[in-house]
Amino acid sequence: MRRDLGKDAPDVLLPEGIELRTYSVEWAPPVHDLMQLGHREGGGRVPALDTWQKQFETDPEYDPTLCFIAHDAEGVVGVAQCWTSSYIKNLVVHPRVQGRGLGRALLLHAFEAFKQRREGFVDLKVLEDNLRAQRLYESAGMYVVRRELVPD
């Protein structure tokens, strides 16, 4: 899916009691735990902490200022892991805060960060059967970009 950053976006409104910060190594364990929880709920898997952290922090598109972490008094409740190519790699919201607008706030925050970097678009991938995520992305102004397959 794609979001045209030339179009206005609503203001970012974080749910009450939730703060945003960017990634640093001390946040790796709770971010990893949330990623594992999110992938269990949505499919796929996340490697062990050491492997995940090394892959994440050494990826050529890694920039810690593009990994947005939402937390409250109980811990990490949301993550938007973005790449420098204006791509949202992962967006995970803890089940205990789902339905409060955090996923939308993380998306809008990522859009604003990429707009400040003078990017024209933000992309992400979503499984075709993940209708809940698709509705969230569409509500934030994203639209489906169909892949063109090259015939044999």
Domain count, the chain: 1
Asked which of 10-14, 95-99, 117-121, 146-150 is least confident by mean pLDDT, the reply is 146-150
- CB–CB of 102/70 below 8 Å? yes
Residues 62-89: what's their mean pLDDT? 96
Whether 15 contacts 73, CB under 8 Å: no
Q: Quick check: is 99 in a domain? A: yes
Give the separation between CA 20 and CA 106, rounded to whole angstroms: 9
Confidence band of 10 (pLDDT split at 50, 70, 90): confident
Domain for residue 86, yes or no? yes
Q: Determine, yes or no, domain membership for 22.
A: yes
- Supply the mean pLDDT for the chain: 92
What per-residue confidence (pLDDT) applies to 41?
67
End-to-end CA, the chain:
26
Q: Give 13's pLDDT tier (boundaries 50, 70, 90).
A: very high
Look at residue 104 and tell me if it is in a domain: yes
Alpha-carbon gap, residue 50 to 55, rounded angstroms: 9
Structural domain including 108 reads 11-119
User: So what's the pLDDT on residue 43?
Assistant: 64
Question: What's the sign of the alpha-carbon dihedral 40, 42, 47, 52?
Answer: negative
102: domain CATH number is 3.40.630.30
pLDDT at 42: 62
* Overall size of the chain counted in residues: 152
Which helix (H) or strand (E) segment holds residue 114: the answer is helix 102-116
